[in-house]
Chain A
């Protein structure tokens, strides 16, 4: 009788160095797909959310429908959201991105709108008095002042997106979620734990990077003592 191999893979342990070294390429590809899906959907969400928030700020009647629709979208569970998009996109990465964009919209629109509404009326009038037109007022005064609130929304949206990408495993585009899904079917503990930990690491890292960007974009918030 030959002795079974005595490594952690054969014993199916949760923490396994041999898994990390032998599956490096698979892990790297999954991380890359995870980052691409997250980044693409949050950026698309931002591109759509800014005009929506500006419109909701400018025209009072637009605020209700915009906030209402995005809130309804946010209430729909992720698995159902991806499934509802199946007839439109089929089994593709676009389906995952589209679903994540819809989710990030709620958080982004709400926060950007709150930021725009918080711009003091005095500031706005001062800018008008200096001869700023509506476009320049928006681009040079209102949007920069809304950055802290918008960045708070962007951070929440990004962290949520990192976590929701895993559900994309249902259509085969879930980044690290694919590894969790296949690890579940084969009862592969090391793979499930490694992929899960990497998800959390990506979420925390993305949050810290965005926090850094926020600091760089809003130097005036650091000038006053807290």
Chain B
């Protein structure tokens, strides 16, 4: 109980919220890293997945890349990138690592979503004389949207977690509050940082839940 009240007083002390190492600054870094890398990974993964799904090619790759991503420790990739020449460029290794771990869920879910579009619907659209591009943009993508959005949600939560770990390898973000707490042997600061990270992750997950729940029916699909 004592640690919890200490963590609470750490969180509520104004000095811990301002400045270079303050909570606001770290939160801003975390938000910026997550949002930037989510956009970048969507730009990389979604076009590839949509085209592969449309053509029905590269399925083994698109589906197995998630399993590969799970077997490779995030922490190892962060440190490996830090030791490459890329490590000289500030947040460079963090951004590359974040994208590497956000791409697999995006790719897999979007690809599976595209392939699960009812083949009868696709044939009907072809029969109506739709071109490949029309078929892709007007039929397949709208029908695959629920799974594409699920992929985006998984990627976002993954990004928040990876951005936290980046603090271990010297990156910014809320994880820095935790690592600084460990270095100072200050359990209240470690717990306070952990609470901030956990709340941040749950809020991100919650926002995506809400978006999926209140989206128009066709964007939700059967199970969401």
Contact = CB atoms under 8 A, between A and B. Distances in A.
B191 interface: yes
A79 B197 contact: yes
A180 interface: yes
A192 B79 contact: yes
Nearest to B1: A87
A57 to B, nearest CB: 19
Contacts of A25: none
Interface residues of A, number: 39
A163 B82 contact: no
Contact of B73 (A75, A183, A199): A199
B146 interface: no
B72 interface: yes
A12 to B, nearest CB: 9
B108 interface: no
A160 B79 CA distance: 18
Contacts of A177: 73, 75-76
Given A87-B187, A189-B83, A196-B80, A80 B201 contact: yes
Interface string B162-183: 0011011100000100110110
Interface in B181-200: 181-182, 187, 190-191, 193-195, 197-198
Contacts of B205: 75
A173 B75 CA distance: 14
A180 to B, nearest CB: 5
A177 B169 CA distance: 12
Counting chain B CB atoms within 10 Å of each CB, the highest count among A83, A86, A164, A183 belongs to A83
A189 B71 CA distance: 21
Given A156-B70, A163-B70, A76 B198 contact: yes
A163 B201 contact: no
A100 interface: no
Nearest to B71: A203
Given A77-B160, A83-B194, A196-B76, A181 B168 contact: yes
A72 B205 CA distance: 9
A193 interface: yes
A170 B198 contact: no
A78 B72 contact: no
Given A77-B198, A83-B190, A207 B76 contact: no
B201 to A, nearest CB: 5
Contacts of B169: 184
B191 A83 contact: yes
Contacts of A160: 70
The 4 A-B residue pairs whose C-beta atoms are closest, nearest first, are A83-B194, A77-B161, A196-B76, A80-B197
Given A76-B197, A79-B161, A80-B164, 12 more contacts: A79-B165, A79-B194, A84-B194, A86-B194, A167-B74, A169-B168, A180-B79, A192-B79, A192-B80, A196-B72, A200-B72, A203-B71
Interface of B: 3-4, 67, 70-77, 79-80, 82-83, 157, 160-161, 164-165, 167-169, 175, 178-179, 181-182, 187, 190-191, 193-195, 197-198, 201-202, 205
